[in-house]
Amino acid sequence: MSNHALENAARALKNARCAMAFTGAGISVESGIPPFRGPGGVWSKHDPEKFEKGYFKRHPDEVWPLLKEIFFDMIGRAQPNPAHFALAELEYRGKLAGIVTQNIDSLHQAAGSTVVHEYHGSTRRMQCMKCRMFFDSHSIPLDKLPASCPACGGLLKPDFVFFGEGVSSEVHRAATDLAKQSDLCLIIGTGGQVMPAGRIPYIVKKHGGTLIEINLHDTDYSYTTSDYFLQGKAGTMLPKLTQLTLE
Ligand code: NAD
Ligand code: ZN
């Protein structure tokens, strides 16, 4: 990739009236959380069917230990990396209106970003399948599984979207509204294959906005719509872009 592309992208970001970011699993890889697809990913070890809502409700004894290992132990240990911090700095300096993330790891907030729409929910909360109450995940002991509701004893489910479950209409509306207002979208570490999340950047484009993409590899966005494709690691490229934009 030429320095030219980076400089041009920084100029576009500098001139943007309202910029947003759309992030995926790739932004958290350098924090030690592997993507789910591909070799070594979660789906190469565990059948995705186990994370389907109906299966979970029928087999909570089998699924909860997997949820604990993948989503609470591994994600619980992760820290934000330079890419998360760069987005937080862009927001702080008034150059980023908000983030729509597909990730459930809350690392954007840990880095200091405040406007974060968690399109697929997060591991921070759990909901009782019986009385529908929400609980802070930190208040729920995971030494005895399946996790159960402190109020009624019902089955607790982490508050992120399982297969066979819809996205919350509030977060969808907030994410779509942000995209409609934005004249630039940074697409970082996502192949955009998961729908309807993957459509968010196209909304920005449809309204005449500019797309800057950062990824290790080409994606459908790079082939079709990205105006600038910055090939490389998010933890390297995003701090460089941020520095050039803010200087
Ligand atoms: P994906 O696994 O389909 O794609 C990851 C993308 O990141 C790929 O395009 C890959 O080329 C790119 N990538 C990998 N390492 C990178 C790096 N260091 N820098 C820049 N790019 C890099 O992920 P997705 O599109 O986000 O979709 C998967 C779904 O799984 C999402 O819904 C997401 O919520 C979920 N997920 C979440 C987490 C998390 O919370 N951290 C982790 C894995 C998957
Ligand atoms: Zn309950």
**CB–CB of 189/25 below 8 Å?**
yes
Tell the residue number behind the tokens 């406007």, with chain if given: 115
- Separation of alpha carbons 6 and 9, rounded Å: 5
91 and 134 in a single domain? The answer is no
DSSP helix/strand/coil, 183: coil
Tell the residue number behind the tokens 């399948």, with chain if given: 129
70 and 90 in a single domain? The answer is no
Tell the residue number behind the tokens 């565990």, with chain if given: 46
Q: What is the CATH number of the domain that holds 90?
A: 3.40.50.1220
DSSP helix/strand/coil, 104: coil
179 and 199 in a single domain? The answer is yes
- Separation of alpha carbons 88 and 99, rounded Å: 10
57 and 144 in a single domain? The answer is yes
CB atoms within 10 A of CB 115: 14
155 and 63 in a single domain? The answer is yes
Which atom of ligand 1 lies at the shortest distance from residue 197's CA?
Answer: 32
Q: What is this structure's pTM?
A: 0.96
148 and 226 in a single domain? The answer is no
- Separation of alpha carbons 67 and 59, rounded Å: 12
Backbone φ/ψ region at 201: left (φ over 0), alpha (ψ -120 to 50), beta:
alpha
Ligand nearest to the CA of 124: 1
Distance 156 CA to ligand 2 centre (A): 8
Which residue, by CA, sits nearest to atom 32 of ligand 1? 102
242 and 174 in a single domain? The answer is yes
Which atom of ligand 1 lies at the shortest distance from residue 28's CA?
Answer: 41
207 and 246 in a single domain? The answer is yes
For strands 210-215 and 184-188, give the pairing: parallel
60 and 115 in a single domain? The answer is no
Q: What is the CATH number of the domain that holds 153?
A: 3.30.1600.10
pLDDT along the chain (247 residues), means of 10: 86 98 97 85 85 95 95 93 98 98 97 98 96 97 96 97 94 98 98 95 97 96 93 98 97
Per the structure, the count of domains in the chain is 2
Structural domain boundaries, residue 28: 1-32+79-120+167-247
**Residue 59 among the catalytic residues:** no
pLDDT computed for residue 2 by the predictor: 64
pLDDT computed for residue 42 by the predictor: 80
